[in-house]
Structure formats: C-alpha cells, structure tokens
Chain A
Amino acid sequence: NAGVTQTPKFQVLKTGQSMTLQCAQDMNHEYMSWYRQDPGMGLRLIHYSVGAGITDQGEVPNGYNVSRSTTEDFPLRLLSAAPSQTSVYFCASSLVGVGDYEQYFGPGTRLTVT
C-alpha cells in the first residue's frame, strides 16, 4: 500500500494563478480532508469529505474548492492564488464509523505564492 500520496511536493505560483493539489489514498477510506500548516498555528482544516460526492467546509475554506468523484481521490483547487495561501498543505484519510479511527497523513505540499 502506498497510503496517502500528494503531488506536487513543492510549487511556486504567482498571485492570481490557479492550480490543483492532488491527493490519493489506496486504503478504501471514506473520510478525506485537507489541512494547511502555518508557523505557530498548528494545522487548520480547509475542507473534508465523508464519501464520494459529499464534501463540506472546515475552519478556513475561503479561496479553496474541492470535489470527491471517487473514493480514492480528493483534489484541492486554488482558483486565484494569493500570498496568504503560502503554506504547507496536508491531505489525510481515515475510516468512518463508530469509534476513533486513526487519520493517515500524506507527506505534504509546500506552496509559495509570490
């Protein structure tokens, strides 16, 4: 199993450009989510999904779009990049149901917006 994979590892964008961060998992997890990590602020939830076709907003959704057409993939779209979106982005996945299932994190994408 590859677990949770993210591409690219690094990306530099100019203000106003758009891009998609890719996330895939091969563990058949229903739940997938995107976090951003900023110095001194921990990880903050951007969007999440509890299954194909179902997405919802987290704590900091503005400027980001998501969709979930398959169980495996959960891409994050930046429609018009801003310097405030410079951050490290992590995708995570887990099972859903009664009980506290471990979340598995990808290696992250470091994004710089100039």
Chain B
Amino acid sequence: GNSVTQMEGPVTLSEEAFLTINCTYTATGYPSLFWYVQYPGEGLQLLLKATKADDKGSNKGFEATYRKETTSFHLEKGSVQVSDSAVYFCALANQGAQKLVFGQGTRLTINP
C-alpha cells in the first residue's frame, strides 16, 4: 500500500538557517506529492505540490523536487523566518484521486 515517511521532529533552527525536512514514500503507480503546512491553531494549507518525476514545486521560498529514483520529496528553504514555525506534512495521492496519505508531520520551530 501507499505510505509516507518523514524525518522525526521536532526541528529547531535559528532565523536565516537552511532548512531540509526529509520525506520518502512508497506507492504503486505514479503518485502526486504534496507538502501541507499547519500553523498553530489552524487547519492544513497546501504549501506546494509536484505531479510527476523531476517536477519541482515551490511556494513562499520553499522548494521540493519529485525524485522517482530515490522515492523522495524533501522540503527545503534557504533562509527560514520565525513565521515559518509550524507543523509540516508530506503527503501523496494517486494520480487523479483525492485521497491523501500523510506522513506523521514534522514540527518546526524557528528562534529569532
């Protein structure tokens, strides 16, 4: 079956540090991959997505590249801000389907 594994948190960084949150997946076929972000007290919001191999999703300075050969979709940002503190979820869905399979989430805290 489909599954997503994220790096364990929590992750604590200083402002302007480089961020990587690892995500690997197991899936049949060719899934679409997503990163969702959950700010304190809120629901999830789509951060970025990629629908095929070698696609790069990007938004708000965050990037992730769909790597089929390593079944990975790592989230990166070159210089994090305090406002990036949140829980980040990697997820997949089979092509054209709506059912999402989530990783366990990674809590990120950025200190000024």
Contacts and interface: CB of A to CB of B under 8 A. Distances in A.
- Chain A interface size range: 20 to 34
Nearest to B42: A107
B91 to A, nearest CB: 8
Interface in B1-56: 4, 32, 36, 41-46, 49, 51
- Chain B interface size range: 20 to 34
A48 B96 contact: no
A38 to B, nearest CB: 9
A90 B98 contact: no
A43 B89 contact: yes
B98 A105 contact: no
B95 interface: yes
Contacts of A98: 96
A41 B104 contact: yes
Interface in A95-111: 96-103, 105-108
